[in-house]
Structure 1
């Protein structure tokens, strides 16, 4: 039996004091409020439910910081995408596993407990399928097991370069499937996830650019009741191209032509009209926001206030993995709204804590988007985070979550996933061995790139 006693804890009912949580295996067994610590308890100033990172492309962690040199003309998402394709074409299975393990270790150290891996690096460097069609998916699963993070695997269906079924580009050759090959991949992926404690399987039609309407309809049953994630309305050029193709904007088209409900996560959804915000919120779909990546790529600002006013829900992910920071994603989301609306404490209830509201929304939205229970409650997974507040022992406890999101001095101390302690004293328990493999993989990749 493991027991954690926290001076303050974030429960489904809100912040509570003198909370004792026990677990003997993967699930929380008891949650007591207003009780004293007992001998042998782990003592923490603040206990949080670990939050799901709902959107990741693991292989892109390898190029973090390597695409920040301006080209001869204006740089934008599309010029970044060319560099991403070039980098992705050099990565072998061993490299992909080492990079993913490093990333997942960093996510755990940042307070994330589960990752939604939007996995589309499928084939070998020539574009030919591996003998095992799930070779790269197996590497993702192996990396998640080594790091100890929960996994929602979202194999990507990607067939075209643009709206209307345009032939794929050469740089996309590692991503491409037809319907039969994708069905075989999903069959193998289902077996992989079934053997993974806490594993969840969903599908990821890449985008309306990459999937025709008929293909989208055909692959939906392969989700088997699991999550459905899709990129949509990330770029203004995408909106313009969708209008030219269909006469409708991407979110508008998707809501009119697909059975979008609470199983769906619309990644980015950056460029929406008020009508699209309202319709998306009413559909029950989660907005999958990746604020640090969206800022890095110059995507634009998600209309969070309009969406939330209509009852919409969101979670956060790290997408291109330029930086792994739970607090950073939430802070960037809030600051973008402040800049757009020239206000402060934009995403908060009247009179309420901004940090608390951001964390609660990200917790609920991330858990729903990845098909996983969430929160500190009996019979929920023991996915827990304790904070290190030793540098701010003067801080009023009511200000803890605002300080965690918006200031310096509060770090991640311990992280448990399914009852297993993965991070102690802010450091992953297998950091040295995982980091050594990652460093060697990066040396190999950069040498190959040169």
Structure 2
């Protein structure tokens, strides 16, 4: 099998912007060679703008199908994450393994068309609606893997450990029983998920995800962190005011402080949301080496709060971007929403910009680096030896005419949208061409059938 070659008029390399760049991708899906000032060959795929493609570091795929169902106010005077969660619980009670596979395939396809090359699936929907396991304990994990086989997305699968309904160790409620496992069963589930991944290309990865400090006790958090010591470790933390107060009352400390005091948090950890931190917690997290997993569209949708982005980045903190509830799948909009939240909080513009790098470039390169770390994936740059996760933008689009260098990213993120994405390669697999996933027709048809059935059942 011969290497593939991509020729770009403009490309963003680790050293900066370059012209007339040739990128060779070997049969294993890694970048074999990068050459500047090159000439296109006879069989080269030509693009206008070539970028490394980020990993989407946090997704609950099944929630894509309930987008638009939660925009009415509940019976109380105000609505919140907690009332949204009740709607989510009612929705997931209807889902079969076949539904989950169809929905996951559709959302993965949308991610690829938006410019993500990989997805980190924070997967907690494990069992039947009554909490009984399927005959194959890892049935639902297998469905996520089957969707990835159809879409070609790079997958990091994070089976979630979920023990309790709150930090007081109360039993799981009716909407949560599909998530629950004791440690022994979780260990077997993790093995089953690993077995399911073997049917995917070798860039697929496993990770571990203790759900949150509310759902996993302190002893099992330590245990879970040691299950796969070289794999990514993700958990939700400090998302909501009520959550912070519940943990503070139970432990005497705020959640981020408690975690950093009791565990050796380092670069393999990805802490999701972190929207309710003090300044001191922000600095401590930034200097730990962990990745903050930010999901700005979902955090806006749920009223979570605003991440302390300026001080976090000022202390050298790493972050990446995820789509979480998948209410919208848009890489450019996630980045734009993150920057705009900082502008609203500070009453200033271009908050993330720095000398020599524009706002869009700082955001995009942070998403590349943080996403690669959180996915446990050797991607994130157009560089020999890296996994060939790449995307191209349409240089002839009206929104990019006359743009050069960082202006390309700024115009895409702040003035354009994901229609500018023309091609996406995931570990060298050319899965999006001319802005459309190569298997869109079949994936969309399955999703449409699933949604019609679900809408009638809810």
TM-score, normalisation: structure 2: 0.96
What do the CA deviations read for 1:232-276 (whole angstroms, capped 9, x no partner)? 000011111111101100101111112211000000011111111
Residue range with higher mean Cα deviation, 270-279 or 287-296: 270-279
- Tell me the CA shift for residue 351 of structure 1: 5.0
Q: Which residue of 2 aligns with 1:185?
A: 189
Kept in 1, the 8 Å contact 2:152–2:431? The answer is yes
- Tell me the CA shift for residue 419 of structure 1: 1.3
Q: Which residue of 1 aligns with 2:404?
A: 397
Q: Which residue of 2 aligns with 1:412?
A: 421
> Take 1:254 and 1:359, find their aligned partners in 2: how far apart are those partners?
28
Unaligned runs of 5+ in 2: none
State the SS of the aligned residue for 1:283. Answer: coil
What do the CA deviations read for 1:158-191 (whole angstroms, capped 9, x no partner)? 0111113122111101001111110110111122
Question: Does 1:106 pair with 2:110?
Answer: yes
Kept in 2, the 8 Å contact 1:206–1:230? The answer is yes
Q: Tell me which of 221, 233, 237 is aligned to 1:216.
A: 221
> Take 2:302 and 2:90, find their aligned partners in 1: how far apart are those partners?
17
Q: Which residue of 2 aligns with 1:56?
A: 59
Q: Which residue of 2 aligns with 1:299?
A: 304
**How many residues are aligned here?**
449
State the SS of the aligned residue for 1:397. Answer: coil
Kept in 1, the 8 Å contact 2:105–2:147? The answer is yes
Q: Which residue of 2 aligns with 1:41?
A: 44
> Take 2:165 and 2:455, find their aligned partners in 1: how far apart are those partners?
27
Q: Which residue of 2 aligns with 1:241?
A: 246
Q: Which residue of 2 aligns with 1:330?
A: 335
Unaligned runs of 5+ in 1: none
Structure 1 vs Structure 2 CA RMSD: 1.2
> Take 2:40 and 2:260, find their aligned partners in 1: how far apart are those partners?
51
Q: Which residue of 2 aligns with 1:168?
A: 172
Kept in 2, the 8 Å contact 1:414–1:422? The answer is yes
- Tell me the CA shift for residue 224 of structure 1: 3.9
Q: Tell me which of 411, 427, 431 is aligned to 2:440.
A: 431
Structure 1 segment 281-296 matched on structure 2, within 5 A: 281-296=286-301
- Tell me the CA shift for residue 41 of structure 1: 2.0
> Take 1:178 and 1:110, find their aligned partners in 2: how far apart are those partners?
37
Kept in 2, the 8 Å contact 1:104–1:144? The answer is yes
Kept in 2, the 8 Å contact 1:154–1:202? The answer is yes
Q: Which residue of 1 aligns with 2:384?
A: 378
Kept in 1, the 8 Å contact 2:395–2:401? The answer is no
- Tell me the CA shift for residue 39 of structure 1: 2.7
- Tell me the CA shift for residue 423 of structure 1: 0.5
> Take 1:228 and 1:447, find their aligned partners in 2: how far apart are those partners?
38
> Take 2:16 and 2:124, find their aligned partners in 1: how far apart are those partners?
38
> Take 1:38 and 1:65, find their aligned partners in 2: how far apart are those partners?
47
Q: Which residue of 2 aligns with 1:18?
A: 20
> Take 1:12 and 1:284, find their aligned partners in 2: how far apart are those partners?
21
- Tell me the CA shift for residue 402 of structure 1: 0.4
State the SS of the aligned residue for 2:287. Answer: helix
> Take 1:437 and 1:396, find their aligned partners in 2: how far apart are those partners?
39
> Take 1:153 and 1:418, find their aligned partners in 2: how far apart are those partners?
16
- Tell me the CA shift for residue 63 of structure 1: 0.4
What do the CA deviations read for 1:359-390 (whole angstroms, capped 9, x no partner)? 10000000001100111111211211011132
State the SS of the aligned residue for 2:146. Answer: helix
- Tell me the CA shift for residue 304 of structure 1: 0.4
> Take 2:145 and 2:334, find their aligned partners in 1: how far apart are those partners?
25
Kept in 1, the 8 Å contact 2:10–2:50? The answer is yes
TM-score, normalisation: structure 1: 0.98
Could you list the runs of 4 or more consecutive aligned residues of structure 1 that deviate by over 4 angstroms after TM superposition? Answer: none
